[in-house]
């Protein structure tokens, strides 16, 4: 489970968010200018507190002090927990918990509390159950106000891979060749896919493919992708331009097999460019958004294309102007 938590910029600095993470928290910017959203794993284990009611129901005069003390400790620890109070909200139950805490405090403090009669014990027990019932109702109301998502694996990729360990989608030998930019966009694509943001998934995978393709282009042609146009302005070659010039390289080989995997890479780049990169980048009305199956295909297509380019770099061949020492 994952909790989407809104943080106003005046309440929490972005450095504080990063500093408080353990590598399992992702930052999501809110483009409306009202702050950021922090997505973190959500531990619902506190719900075991509901078992308190059953324990209190079974309470007898002989174990009343033990049950009352444990109930007080659990409730007091819950409301004083900074994470529960600050991140999860819990506004309603924070108020309703005061009554059961007050009722159990004397037992927790070690006072010599004795029930004068069985009727007094039953009355105290019924009152505590009434307070706990109110607390549970308010706790459930607070939990229902949280934005909690239950993530499911996609196409055989488990949640950890798509959310944190995107490198696992590539062969181990290829991972060191991947740039930080490409890796970050692949990871973002995996996260978007998990949260059913299908068009965003395709967009970020397209950015990753373009980054790898540009680096691959430079190694094959020996030319930088950053260039000055006729207006003397600096630009970067598009994915389509890279594909076109790589095709020119391929055409120079009488036997395409001599050019390693280039004969597979060029059509792959062109297809990805035509189907995803250009429409997603230029808001093509014919492709307003990707569907679930589209994102699945785009993700798999991109992984295959990236893996093929990285494998060709590792293997090398006469079609490379530059070589990489691995």
Q: Above 90 in pLDDT, residue 81?
A: no
Q: What is the pLDDT of residue 167?
A: 93
- CA 192 from chain center: how many Å? 8
Q: Is pLDDT at 113 greater than 90 in this prediction? A: no
Percent of the chain topping pLDDT 70: 77
- Structural domain boundaries in the chain: 2-42, 45-144, 159-315
Measure the N-to-C terminal CA separation of the chain; round to a whole number of Å: 39
Report the alpha-carbon distance of residue 102 to residue 127 in Å, rounded.
12
More confident residue, 166 or 154: 166
pLDDT higher than threshold 70 for residue 163: yes
Q: 249 exposed, middle or buried (CB, 10 Å; 0-12, 13-18, 19+)?
A: middle
Q: Do the Cβ atoms of 58 and 66 come closer than 8 Å?
A: no
DSSP state of 322: S
Q: Mapping DSSP to helix (H, G, I), strand (E, B) and coil, where does residue 35 land? A: strand
User: Residue for token digits 């049950």?
Assistant: 67
| Residue range 271-291: mean pLDDT, rounded | 71
Q: In the block, which residue shows the tokens 């037992």?
A: 107
Helix, strand, coil in percent for the chain, rounding step 5: 65, 10, 30
Chain position carrying tokens 């380019």: 309
Q: How far is CA 272 from CA 56, 128, 212, 249, 265, in A?
A: 62, 64, 13, 19, 11
Q: How far is CA 259 from the centre of its chain?
A: 39
Tell me what the mean pLDDT of segment 102-115 comes to. 86
Which one is predicted more confidently, 63 or 55?
A: 63
Distance CA 202, CA 190 (A): 10
Give the whole-angstrom CA distance, residue 123 versus residue 127. 6
What is the CA angle 171-174-177, rounded to 5? 160
Q: Is 8 helix (H, G, I), strand (E, B) or coil?
A: coil
Q: Is the pTM of this model over 0.85?
A: no
Q: What is the CA radius of gyration of the chain?
A: 29
- 125/119 Cα distance (integer angstroms): 10
Residue 42 has pLDDT above 80, yes or no: no
* Whether pLDDT at 266 is above 90: yes
Q: Is 156 left (phi over 0), alpha (psi -120 to 50) or beta?
A: left
Write the burial class of residue 116 (CB in 10 Å: 0-12 exposed, 13-18 middle, 19+ buried). exposed
**Residues 298 and 185: beta-carbon distance below 8 Å:** no
Instruction: Answer whether residue 41 shows pLDDT above 80.
Output: no
**Which residue did the predictor score with more confidence, 79 or 121?**
121
Concatenated DSSP letters for 49-111? Answer: GGHHHHHHHT--TTTHHHHHHHHHHHHHHHHH-HIIIIIS--HHHHHHTHHHHHHHHHHHTT-
Instruction: Output the 3-class SS for 105-138.
Output: HHHHCCCCCCCCCHHHHHHHHHHHHHHHHHHHHH
Q: Give the separation between CA 115 and CA 137, rounded to whole angstroms.
A: 29
**What's the mean pLDDT in 126-130?**
94
Q: What's the rounded mean pLDDT across residues 46-69?
A: 82
Residue 229 clears pLDDT 90, i.e. is over it: no
| pLDDT at residue 40, rounded to an integer | 61
pLDDT level of residue 10 (50, 70, 90 thresholds): very low
Top pLDDT among 85 and 317 is at 317
pLDDT score for 291: 87
Per-residue confidence (pLDDT) for residue 76, from 0 to 100 = 85
Q: How would residue 210 be classed by pLDDT, with cut points 50, 70 and 90? A: very high
Task: Answer whether residue 28 shows pLDDT above 70.
Answer: no
Q: What is the pLDDT of residue 104?
A: 92
Q: What confidence category does residue 242 fall into, taking pLDDT thresholds of 50, 70 and 90?
A: very high
Examine the pLDDT at 116 and tell me if it is beyond 50. Answer: yes
158-162, 221-225, 289-293: least confident range: 289-293
pLDDT for the residue numbered 212: 95
What's the chain's average pLDDT?
A: 80
* Most confident segment among 20-29, 83-92, 221-230: 221-230
């Amino acid at each position: 489970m994952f909790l989407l938590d809104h943080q106003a910029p005046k309440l929490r600095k972005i450095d504080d968010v990063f500093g408080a993470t353990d590598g399992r928290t992702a930052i999501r910017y809110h483009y409306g200018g009202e702050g950021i959203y922090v997505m973190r794993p959500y531990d619902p284990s506190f719900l075991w507190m509901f078992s308190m009611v059953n324990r209190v129901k079974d309470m007898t005069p002989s174990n009343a002090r033990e049950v009352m003390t444990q109930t007080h400790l659990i409730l007091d620890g819950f409301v004083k927990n900074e994470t529960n109070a600050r991140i999860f909200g819990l506004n309603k139950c924070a108020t309703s918990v005061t009554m059961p805490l007050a009722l159990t405090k004397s037992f927790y403090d070690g006072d010599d509390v004795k029930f004068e009669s069985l009727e007094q014990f039953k009355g105290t027990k019924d009152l505590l159950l009434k307070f706990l019932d109110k607390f549970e109702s308010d706790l459930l109301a607070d939990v229902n106000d949280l934005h909690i998502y239950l993530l499911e694996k996609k196409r055989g990729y488990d949640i950890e891979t798509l959310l944190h360990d995107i490198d696992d989608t590539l062969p181990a030998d290829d991972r060191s060749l991947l740039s930080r930019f490409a890796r970050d966009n692949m990871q973002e694509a995996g996260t978007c896919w998990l949260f059913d943001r299908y068009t965003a998934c395709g967009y970020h995978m397209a950015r990753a493919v373009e980054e790898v393709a540009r680096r691959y282009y430079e190694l094959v042609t020996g030319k930088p992708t950053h260039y000055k146009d006729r207006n003397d302005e600096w630009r970067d070659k598009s994915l389509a331009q890279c594909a076109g010039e790589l095709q020119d390289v391929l055409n120079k080989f009488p036997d395409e097999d001599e050019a390693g995997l280039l004969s597979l890479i060029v059509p792959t780049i062109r297809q990805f460019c035509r189907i995803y990169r250009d429409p997603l980048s230029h808001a093509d009305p014919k492709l307003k958004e990707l569907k679930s199956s589209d994102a699945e295909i785009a993700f798999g297509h991109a992984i295959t294309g990236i893996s093929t380019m990285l494998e060709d770099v590792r293997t090398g061949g006469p079609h490379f102007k530059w070589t990489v020492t691995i």
